[in-house]
Structure 1
């Protein structure tokens, strides 16, 4: 199981790096084509926006996995060991429930609706359902990471930098 999550972590990390590189290249090309060539590229803004959506949602998954997401740990750090255990499971259960209900189910319904309506992007002609596909994917990954966190708990209190 740990090897599977290690592979998933590695793939997610590389995919996020690739998206960041792609956004940098696309936006650089947009600036170059507009100001140097005098003929702005039409697809770059749309592609950069779609990549940013994927980067943001999958970045949230990665941050949750690494426990580096924003959080209010004032109460958690002041709690006793027993209270920390209860809070730990409660937090991860809430995250998993939200991800399952809102991101997986809601994201799938949104994806299905845009697919049925045949919505596509204006310039590139990409189906919008492909852009929204990242919502249920991110939700599934968060649920998996929440389950892993509950199966292998870490009740330690880490100091923030």
Structure 2
């Protein structure tokens, strides 16, 4: 298992880096769209009708992609206060409980996000002419990445590969 994890690490690291960069691009794009909306409303006195819908969709993408990378890097909430007083075995147990809770939440994101996508596919966003179901795609993709990164964390922990810098993507 250890060798398999080490073999797929470059791929998962690249995937996390791509998700992080995509989230950053989405944040910048949303900022530009909102700037255009404010400029149009207050300077041109003609606010673009599409800007709010696009901004909300971009926001969903960068939030869910960024959150999944945060899971991989260990930046999400956990049992930090107890970690300082727990023995090593207790830390492993608490981290695993935290990861299992995240895994359950991410699975629910994918399942219910898929149901929402299917249920709203026939409706159209009036200002964009696109399916409302597309707005739930970030929930599904973010949930899938969160599942992948959480399973990786658990497997690394039980293969003896976990350390403070194991998930860093900044290299």
TM-score norm. by structure 2 comes to 0.83
Pick closer, same or farther for the CA change 1:70–1:94 going to 2, 3 Å: closer
User: 1:114 aligned to 2:137?
Assistant: no
**Aligned residue in 1 for 2:24:** 17
Structure 1 runs (4+) greater than 4 angstroms displaced: none
How far did 1:145 drift? 0.4
**Aligned residue in 2 for 1:87:** 94
**Aligned residue in 1 for 2:63:** 56
Contact 1:85 1:155 in 2 (8 A): no
**Aligned residue in 2 for 1:123:** 127
How far did 1:27 drift? 0.9
Q: Deviations over 1:67-94 (max 9, x none)?
A: 1123341122221111111122222122
- Partner SS, residue 85 of structure 1: helix
Pick closer, same or farther for the CA change 1:88–1:155 going to 2, 3 Å: farther
| RMSD (Å), alpha carbons | 1.5
Q: Distance in 2 between matches of 1:40 and 1:140?
A: 36
Contact 1:84 1:155 in 2 (8 A): no
Matches within 5 A, 1:1-161: 1-100=8-107, 102-115=108-121, 118-153=122-157, 154=162
Q: Distance in 2 between matches of 1:18 and 1:74?
A: 34
How far did 1:111 drift? 1.0
Q: Identify unmatched segments of 5+ residues in structure 1.
A: 157-161
TM-score norm. by structure 1 comes to 0.87
**Aligned residue in 1 for 2:5:** none
Q: Identify unmatched segments of 5+ residues in structure 2.
A: 1-7, 165-171
Looking at both structures, which has the greater relative contact order when contacts are Cα pairs under 8 Å and sequence separation is at least 6?
2
User: How many residues are aligned here?
Assistant: 153
How far did 1:48 drift? 0.7
How far did 1:122 drift? 2.3
Contact 2:61 2:138 in 1 (8 A): yes
